[in-house]
Structure 1
Amino acid sequence: MSKIWLEAAVNGPWTRKNQPAIPVSPEEIAADCIACAKAGAAIIHFHPYDTETGLQVDTTEAYAEVIERVRDVDEKVIIYGTLPMAGLPNVSDTMSPAQRFAHVKGLAERGLIEWSVVDPGSTNITHDAWIAEGREGFTYLNPESHVRYGLELCREKGLHPSYAIYEPGFIRQGAALHRATPGCPTPLYRYMFSDRLTFSFPPELYALEAYNTLREEEAPGTPWMVAGLAVDIRPLIAPAVERGGHVRVGLEDQPFGVEITNAALVEEAAKLIEAAGGTLATPDEVRAGLS
């Protein structure tokens, strides 16, 4: 049976205005991370928040507080955060690469992370409901200089890049820039689908096949995962498992306004993975798969 990596993305950048059930305080986030690990997630992804403003905050200490709370209970789970996202109300689109990755460097130097987000491209993020309302979305901005800086930092600190593939071209650029950074650890290619946001593909089998064909041409044998934003990823779990892929679930990825817990999403995904013939990988088995 295939060993399947299950990741839980517990909150995302959405704020409670869009996703009311997300954990926000360090205590809440850590509790959700621990619950997801107990439910079978080997990998945890989170965004820290400023509880006063209700917005994402990207300081080394904000990330460290959550990670250390989780580590006090679970020393094995792979846990990592995110990057400042231009387009959010409190993030400038003029940040330098060093500013944007400052907390990643700080966390790596403290031995608190093994992975880092390095998303290899930019895309427009808008919801079909926002378009109908005449409300403009935002650009998730990842200039090439930022991607190169992130990969160099991953090489220096021994971090695995976590690639969110929002468009097919992200695979080509991510693979090319990784080849141009010899010594950088293996990336994970996470295919991002959506039902309601208008980037990329809907969660359909033809789309999974297209992503997989391109990745195998550009980065053969590399690990990959199905995920998304504002999406029900369940229809792709069995096809992913059958093809040797991995799975991410969580409130970050769910359609806005759902009433379900992160732990329940992980438990359901675990059952679907097992029904498709997979077994859940432990954190150490994930590490071995990336070595």
Structure 2
Amino acid sequence: MQQNVIITCAVTGNLTTRENHPGLPVTPEEIANSCLEAAEAGAAIAHIHVRDPETGKPSMELKYYREVVERIRARNNALILNITTGPGGRYHPSEDNPAVAGPRTTLMRPERRVEHIAALKPDIATLDLNTMTFGSEVVINTPENVKVMADIINDAGSKPELEVFDTGHIQLAHDLLKAGALKSPAMFTIVTGVKYGFPSTTDVMATAARMLPGDAVWTGFGVGRMSFPMAVQSYLLGGHVRVGLEDNSYIAKGVLAKGNGELVERARDLIEKLGGKIAEPSQAREMLGLPA
């Protein structure tokens, strides 16, 4: 088990809506405030997506990311910022001709998906390695596109956070590390509970963790009702922990969480009751090889 456990809070994501949770942060101010609330509760890392503040729909607009980062940094210079590059990989085959993109398609050039990383140079940038069925669409992250994104992330001085949803994604990571497209020691996140990917079970998380490079730093989490059980499993297996409204809206069965802060507090309480210590941002930076 880890001596010091890093808690990541994924504050809003792409898929959660205000129908799922009426307090979901949507505007840049709300997202920044929620990141700060999570930090106060014990999170060392904030995982950030942005939304269109008028519609609440996922956005890739640099101005929203910039505002979130500036608002956080005006009040907290220690919190580690992990900004997503996930949007822009979804393909929806149209009914008449699957070779033609349908209206829910967001697929775009890999360079476009990391423009905000090149501009803002966050501590960490996600790098999804999954090509898989995701809901009613397909997420596509080809090895070549991943390499393009990895190069831009590395050039920005950000650390890639490799999100893996199945065993083949881990094998892709090994190949990219061997080819030099990714650098060791790598940072991984094992995602469980997404349909057609890793299920949220102890055996599966343990298997995934054993497949990672020996020097990897990793976090594991579960989606929905398995959020807290898999947070505990990740800690017990030697990993770090992620919670947040992106992954789960509830603090208990049928009880909506007050917000991201309460979810982080619950994760912290569970880890501390098991004998773990929660890493401060400065400790997390050292563990991840990030600049102080």
Q: 1:255 to 1:168 in 2, by over 3 A?
A: farther
What's 2:274 paired with? 276
Aligned-residue offset at 1:157:
2.2
Of residues 238, 243, 251, the one that matches 1:244 is 238
Give runs of ≥4 in structure 1 deviating > 4 Å.
88-91, 255-258
What's 1:175 paired with? 174
- The 8 Å contact of residues 46 and 82 in structure 2, kept in 1 or not, is answered as yes
Any gaps of 5 or more consecutive residues in structure 1?
A: 127-136
What's 1:106 paired with? 119
Aligned-residue offset at 1:101:
1.2
Aligned-residue offset at 1:53:
2.4
Aligned-residue offset at 1:250:
0.3
Q: 1:87 to 1:243 in 2, by over 3 A?
A: closer
- The 8 Å contact of residues 151 and 181 in structure 1, kept in 2 or not, is answered as no
What's 1:193 paired with? 192
Aligned-residue offset at 1:188:
1.6
Tell me how many residue pairs correspond in the alignment: 271
Aligned-residue offset at 1:264:
0.5
Q: Which has the higher helix share?
A: 1
Deviation per CA, 1:174-210: give whole Å up to 9, x if none. 122133226736432111111xx41323321111111
What's 2:247 paired with? 253
- The 8 Å contact of residues 191 and 220 in structure 2, kept in 1 or not, is answered as yes
- The 8 Å contact of residues 160 and 185 in structure 1, kept in 2 or not, is answered as no
Percent sequence identity is: 30
Q: 1:75 to 1:255 in 2, by over 3 A?
A: closer
Distance in 1 separating the partners of 2:18 and 2:88: 17
Partner SS for 2:234: helix
What pairs with 1:58-77 in structure 2 (closer than 5 Å)?
Answer: 58-77=60-79
What's 2:37 paired with? 35
TM-score, length of structure 2 as denominator length: 0.86
Distance in 2 separating the partners of 1:165 and 1:204: 15
What's 1:220 paired with? 214
What's 1:2 paired with? 3
TM-score, length of structure 1 as denominator length: 0.86
Aligned-residue offset at 1:106:
1.0
Distance in 1 separating the partners of 2:88 and 2:256: 26
Aligned-residue offset at 1:241:
2.0
Distance in 2 separating the partners of 1:263 and 1:71: 18
Give the stretch that moved more between structures: 150-159 or 202-211.
150-159
Distance in 2 separating the partners of 1:233 and 1:148: 31
Distance in 2 separating the partners of 1:163 and 1:224: 9
Any gaps of 5 or more consecutive residues in structure 2?
A: 92-102
- The 8 Å contact of residues 34 and 74 in structure 1, kept in 2 or not, is answered as yes
Aligned-residue offset at 1:91:
5.6
Aligned-residue offset at 1:99:
1.3
